[in-house]
Structure 1
């Protein structure tokens, strides 16, 4: 499943739990962790993101030269809607991504109209706030499950050798109906912690079969992910990368996992 890079400067793939859109304004502990990570990595020549917030029936790739910043949420403070992330697109990279996916038996098409959703721009606003690095998003055909996400990651893994940072943006736990809106950062729901720890254990021992079958094998899997679109980007990062490592761990609102992982 994994690429074994020989170049120590090769960029990893990342899985980022992006939390609430308010992360852009209230970064908590995750914001500094993301900023430190960006400082530690070689500067990417481009970034490719698979976000939980672009579910699709088929595979699509943003190909616009200047995609808009999409505030794809409601009920938040006006200051959040004023945030812009004017990163350029990269039509040539989008074309090559489509070609790589097609060669792997995963037909994809360009989408010149799609804006950047908050699963992409919120964490990147904390990592690369100048918004100068070209950004391309790949859609998430969530109905096809985790195995296809691994294949997509594998198909694009070679871009890491070209200085492209590959990111899966979702959440290690994501049951919005069971959040504790009064909880501080030290409160962790036992059922959310058990699931997070199981995933980390399986990643550490590279038990891909258990991970792919997580809905049957992981403790409290469906409680943590009533639908699985927020965990699927993890499988993209897994397929695209190598050895697993933890960058940051934590919870917000009692049960919203904010973990960040890297795959070198």
Structure 2
């Protein structure tokens, strides 16, 4: 059986689900270029809990967890089947690693999950289980969760972290829009992460808030970067940047495979 990759994707604005922009076009081509998984386990920055929690709904509802967007977005449904068996297996692996874990049999799929998956797999024909983040815990915790899930990649499961490589919404160039010039402070952070991944500097990445340039400005809170560490932990130590683009001057849409 082919070993599935672990991915980190930046899901951006909910408009990514319908807009014609570089990141959206990248997602359109990504799914067909990857080995086809039997199931997907995705950690979303918008699923926050006290302890790692697996969403195990057999038919998860599409959650529209955003406000002020065009009406067409609220009509979107991603009618994917859940993967309760995978959710329970993942919970067992996390527990075996000595970490607390829970299962939520009713959790739907938020836009951090369905926005990228709808473009990668528009037929919604790959079962999906979801995984929460713990915004009060550090990158090392999320890396450990990812490590516990690493073996699933040999069992037909694609592990995905969905967040944002940079996420300071107050500093975005809303007037400049998708084509606004990239802020130097965002570019410095983007380049640092790319170099650290390419050079296998895992410890530096885990300590990014201390070592990366403009780390706190790019992530005033780091909940949108925490899924990166789940994917990093689920990987095998090497990483490749699959996509790089920036919208509104400072929202980096980078994607990585580990």
- Higher mean alpha-carbon deviation, 185-194 vs 81-90, is at 185-194
Deviation at 1:186, TM superposition (A): 6.0
The 10-residue stretch of structure 1 (47-56 or 179-188) with the greater mean CA deviation from structure 2: 179-188
Residue segments in structure 2 that go unaligned for 5+ positions in a row: none
Please give the secondary structure, in 2, of the residue aligned with 1:129.
coil
Per-residue deviation, 1:35: 2.2
Please say if 1:83 is aligned against 2:102.
no
Counterpart of 1:138? Answer: 131
Aligned to 1:248: 243
Structure 1 residues 1-264: aligned runs within 5 Å: 9-183=2-176, 184-185=178-179, 187-242=181-236, 243-263=238-258
1:162, distance to aligned residue in structure 2 (A): 1.1
1:3 alignment counterpart:
none
Give the secondary structure class of the aligned counterpart of 1:144.
Answer: coil
Q: What do the CA deviations read for 1:80-131 (whole angstroms, capped 9, x no partner)? A: 0001001111111111111111000112111011110100000000000111
Q: Once the 2 structures are TM-superposed, how far is the Cα of residue 204 of structure 1 from its aligned partner?
A: 1.1
Is residue 185–residue 250 contact of structure 1 (8 Å, CA) maintained in 2? no
**Contact (CA 8 Å) 1:187, 1:254: kept in 2 or not?**
yes
Structure 1: 5+ residue stretches without partners: 1-6
Runs of 4+ in 1 over 4 A off after TM superposition: none
**What secondary structure, in the 3-state scheme, does the structure 1 residue paired with 2:140 have?**
helix
CA drift at 1:27: 4.1
Question: Which is worse superposed, 211-220 or 71-80?
Answer: 211-220
Distance 2:121 2:149 in 1: 22
Normalization by structure 2: what TM-score?
0.97
Q: Could you tell me how far apart the structure 1 residues matched to 2:134 and 2:187 are? A: 27
CA distance in 2, matches of 1:255, 1:57: 29
Task: Please give the alpha-carbon distance, in whole angstroms, between the structure 1 residues aligned to 2:179 and 2:120.
Answer: 21
Q: Secondary structure at the match of 1:96?
A: helix
Deviation at 1:32, TM superposition (A): 1.8
Are the counterparts in 2 of residues 173 and 225 from structure 1 also a CA contact under 8 Å? Answer: yes
Q: TM-score with structure 1 length normalisation?
A: 0.94
RMSD: 1.1
Q: How many residues align?
A: 256
Contact kept in structure 1, 2:4 and 2:35, CA below 8 Å: yes
